Chains A and B, each alone.
Chain A
Amino acid sequence: MRRRPGIGGLQTAAAARDQYRLLGENVAKIKTDLMKEQLATFRSQLEDFARKHKNDIRKNPAFRSQFHEMCAKVGVDPLASNKGFWAELLGIGDFYYELGVQIVDICLATRPHNGGLINLQELCHLLRQRRKSDRGVVSKDDCLRAIGKLKVLGSGFEVISVAKRKLVRSVPTELNKDHNEILELAQAQGYVTVEEVERRLSWTSGRAIDALDTLLDEGLAMIDDGHQDGKRRYWFPCVSPISSSIGVDS
Chain B
Amino acid sequence: MSGNFLPAVQLTESGRPVLQPNEIECFYLSSVDLLSEDEPSSIPFPHLKSRLLILTTHRLLCLPNSSSPNSSGAFAVPLAAISHIFSHKKSIKSMFASPRIRFQVSLTPDGRVSGNGSRSVVATIVVRGKGDCDAFLTKFWENWRARAWEDDGPAPGSSSGSAFGSNSASASAPASSGIYSSDGTVRMVGVAGILRKEQEMWESTDKSLQDAFQDLNALMSKAKEMVMLAEKMRQKLLSGSTSQTNASNDEEMGTKEEMQDWLLSVGIISPVTKESAGAMYHQQLSRQLADFVKVPLERAGGIVNLIDIYCLFNRARGTELISPDDLLKACLLWEKFDAPMFLRKFDSGVMVIQNKSHSDEEVFSKIKVLVTKPEALRAGISASDAARTLGVAPAMAKEHLLSAESMGLLCRDTSLDGIRFYINLFTEIDQDDMHLVKDHGVYASWIRVNHAP
Task: Verify A101–B311 contact, CB threshold 8 A.
Answer: yes
Task: Verify B325–A149 contact, CB threshold 8 A.
Answer: yes
Least CB distance, B172 to chain A, in whole angstroms: 14
Least CB distance, B89 to chain A, in whole angstroms: 24
Task: Verify A76–B216 contact, CB threshold 8 A.
Answer: no
Could you say which of B208, B262, B310 contacts A153, with CB atoms under 8 Å apart?
B310
Stretch with Cβ within 8 A of A (4 or more), from B4-12, B75-83, B222-230:
B222-230
Query: Inside 8 A of A86's CB, which chain B residues have their CB?
Result: 267
The residue of chain A having its C-beta at the shortest distance from the C-beta of B269 within the complex is A80
> Is B218 engaged at the interface, CB distance under 8 Å to the other chain?
yes
Instruction: List B170-225 residues whose CB lies under 8 Å from chain A.
Output: 191, 198, 202, 208-209, 211-213, 215-220, 222-225
Least CB distance, A239 to chain B, in whole angstroms: 24
What mask results when residues 71 to 113 of chain A are scored 1 for a CB within 8 Å of chain B, else 0?
1011111111111111100000110111011001100000000
> Is A42 engaged at the interface, CB distance under 8 Å to the other chain?
yes
What mask results when residues 134 to 177 of chain A are scored 1 for a CB within 8 Å of chain B, else 0?
00000000000000011111111100000000000000100000
Task: Verify A152–B328 contact, CB threshold 8 A.
Answer: yes
In the bound assembly, the distance between CA atoms of A52 and B215 in angstroms comes to 9
Query: Inside 8 A of A98's CB, which chain B residues have their CB?
Result: 314, 321
The residue of chain B having its C-beta at the shortest distance from the C-beta of A35 within the complex is B229
Could you say which of B216, B224, B349 contacts A154, with CB atoms under 8 Å apart?
B349
Task: Verify A82–B321 contact, CB threshold 8 A.
Answer: yes
Task: Verify A153–B212 contact, CB threshold 8 A.
Answer: no
Query: Inside 8 A of B389's CB, which chain A residues have their CB?
Result: none
In the bound assembly, the distance between CA atoms of A71 and B220 in angstroms comes to 7
> Is B93 engaged at the interface, CB distance under 8 Å to the other chain?
no
> Is B444 engaged at the interface, CB distance under 8 Å to the other chain?
no
Task: Verify B349–A77 contact, CB threshold 8 A.
Answer: no
Instruction: List A176-209 residues whose CB lies under 8 Å from chain B.
Output: none
Query: Inside 8 A of A150's CB, which chain B residues have their CB?
Result: 307, 310, 324
Task: Verify B322–A97 contact, CB threshold 8 A.
Answer: yes
A80 with B314, Cβ < 8 A, contacts A74-B220, A97-B322 known: no
What is the size category of the interface that chain B forms with chain A?
35 or more
Task: Verify B325–A74 contact, CB threshold 8 A.
Answer: no
Instruction: List B33-76 residues whose CB lies under 8 Å from chain A.
Output: none
Task: Verify A81–B264 contact, CB threshold 8 A.
Answer: yes
Least CB distance, B225 to chain A, in whole angstroms: 7
In the bound assembly, the distance between CA atoms of A41 and B320 in angstroms comes to 24
A83 with B226, Cβ < 8 A, contacts A74-B220, A97-B322 known: no
In the bound assembly, the distance between CA atoms of A56 and B206 in angstroms comes to 11
Query: Inside 8 A of A67's CB, which chain B residues have their CB?
Result: 216
Give how many A residues have a beta carbon under 8 Å from the other chain's beta carbons.
60
A32 with B259, Cβ < 8 A, contacts A46-B219, A100-B310 known: yes
Query: Inside 8 A of B323's CB, which chain A residues have their CB?
Result: 79-82, 87, 93, 96-97, 149
Could you say which of A49, A60, A93, A152 contacts B321, with CB atoms under 8 Å apart?
A93
> Is A39 engaged at the interface, CB distance under 8 Å to the other chain?
yes
> Is A19 engaged at the interface, CB distance under 8 Å to the other chain?
no
Instruction: List A200-238 residues whose CB lies under 8 Å from chain B.
Output: 217
Task: Verify B306–A154 contact, CB threshold 8 A.
Answer: yes
A39 with B266, Cβ < 8 A, contacts A101-B310, A153-B306, A154-B349 known: yes
Q: Could you say which of B217, B265, B322 has the most chain A C-beta atoms within 10 Å of its C-beta? A: B265
In the bound assembly, the distance between CA atoms of A27 and B10 in angstroms comes to 57
Query: Inside 8 A of A85's CB, which chain B residues have their CB?
Result: 265-267
> Is A63 engaged at the interface, CB distance under 8 Å to the other chain?
yes
Task: Verify A75–B268 contact, CB threshold 8 A.
Answer: yes
Could you say which of B191, B211, B264, B321 contacts A97, with CB atoms under 8 Å apart?
B321
In the bound assembly, the distance between CA atoms of A150 and B349 in angstroms comes to 13
Query: Inside 8 A of B418's CB, which chain A residues have their CB?
Result: 217
> Is A26 engaged at the interface, CB distance under 8 Å to the other chain?
no
Task: Verify A66–B198 contact, CB threshold 8 A.
Answer: yes
Query: Inside 8 A of A154's CB, which chain B residues have their CB?
Result: 306-307, 345, 349-351
Least CB distance, B220 to chain A, in whole angstroms: 5
Least CB distance, A172 to chain B, in whole angstroms: 4
Task: Verify B269–A77 contact, CB threshold 8 A.
Answer: yes
> Is B91 engaged at the interface, CB distance under 8 Å to the other chain?
no
Could you say which of B219, B220, B262, B314 contacts A39, with CB atoms under 8 Å apart?
B262
Task: Verify B267–A153 contact, CB threshold 8 A.
Answer: no
Task: Verify A35–B220 contact, CB threshold 8 A.
Answer: no
Query: Inside 8 A of B264's CB, which chain A residues have their CB?
Result: 80-81, 83-84
Chain B interface (Cβ < 8 Å from any Cβ of A) = 191, 198, 202, 208-209, 211-213, 215-220, 222-227, 229-230, 232-233, 236, 255, 258-259, 261-262, 264-269, 279, 281, 305-307, 310-311, 314-315, 319-328, 345, 348-351, 418
Known pairs A42-B226, A79-B323 / 14 extra A-B pairs, C-beta < 8 Å: A32-B259, A42-B223, A45-B222, A48-B215, A62-B198, A71-B223, A81-B325, A84-B265, A85-B267, A97-B323, A153-B307, A153-B324, A154-B306, A155-B350
Closest 4 CB pairs of A and B: A154-B351, A76-B267, A97-B321, A83-B281
Q: Could you write out 24 A-B pairs with CB less than 8 Å apart?
A: A38-B225, A48-B215, A52-B211, A70-B191, A70-B216, A70-B220, A74-B227, A75-B268, A76-B268, A80-B264, A80-B268, A80-B269, A82-B321, A94-B321, A97-B323, A100-B310, A101-B321, A104-B307, A150-B324, A151-B324, A153-B328, A154-B306, A155-B306, A156-B350
